[in-house]
Amino acid sequence: GKVYFQATDGIHAEELWVTDGTEAGTYMVKDINTTTQNYGGSFPDNFTVYNNKLYFTAADGNSTHLWVTDGTEAGTVKIAPATYEEPTSVNYLFLFEDELFFMAQYQTSVGKELYKLDATTMGVADYSLEKINIYPNPVKDVLHILDNNLNTQIISIISTTGQVVQKIFNQNQVDVSSLSPGIYYAKIETNENIVVKKFIKK
């Protein structure tokens, strides 16, 4: 087995390193941030194993992106949409039903949204749908789903760690009064699509 971590060798700032427990097997995987921004380091974080690869967040300047590595320098690459605005921000990686989700801001005018990795194309997709909305947000007691007649079938309330804490069938509202305050996701399954919306429990 191998362990991945962030470290500095006195020449490079904090970058992605790997070790197999031996001196020879301990080395920097890649110098991701070759600029002087962000103190010259990429500060890799949010390590998540998915499909036998390691996904993580790292800065390559003044932006933080999603990255993936197979343990080699050539196999350590940035994953981003075809178009985005600098600076970007990516964090909160989590797995749910064998898919990788994360929060990101790729457009400065939009703010952070929930995204999903497309494991086939290694691209990312905004995991929101304007046809479906939730209210109120933040919420104290009952979260309502406005689905515009798309026929909501299942609502799953998911914590930031990916744990399903509630599941409701064939209803357009969820009593979340018993949840601890914090950030959650409502996974809404309709007869047309699956949508995930972030909400704050007061």
Handedness of CA 164, 170, 173, 176 (dihedral sign): negative
Q: What is the pTM of this model?
A: 0.63
CB contact at 8 A, 103 and 114: yes
Instruction: Compute the chain's Rg from CA coordinates.
Output: 19
Handedness of CA 190, 196, 117, 5 (dihedral sign): negative
Using DSSP, state whether 152 is helix, strand or coil: coil
Instruction: Determine how many CB atoms are found less than 10 A away from the CB of residue 112.
Output: 15
**Residue 107 pLDDT:** 80
Select from 1, 42, 37 the least CA-distant residue to 20.
1
**Residue 129 pLDDT:** 45
- Identity at 46, one-letter amino acid code: N
153 pLDDT exceeds 90? no
Token couple for 192: 């047309």
CB contact at 8 A, 202 and 177: no
Q: Which residues pair with 95 in a beta bridge?
A: 100
**Residue 127 pLDDT:** 54
Decide which of 139 and 118 is more confident. Answer: 139
At 16-64, the pLDDT tens digits run 999 999 999 999 999 999 887 767 899 999 999 999 899 999 999 889 9
DSSP string of 62-130, one letter each residue: S-EEEEEESSSSTT-EEE--SS--SSPEEEEEEEETTEEEEEEE-STTT--EEEEEETTTTEEEE---T
At 58-92, the pLDDT tens digits run 999 889 999 999 999 999 999 988 778 888 899 88
Name the pLDDT band for 150 (thresholds 50, 70, 90). low
103 pLDDT exceeds 80? yes
> Mean pLDDT, to the nearest integer, of 159-178?
92
Alpha carbon 89 to chain centroid, angstroms? 10
End-to-end Cα, the chain, rounded Å: 42
Name the pLDDT band for 200 (thresholds 50, 70, 90). very high
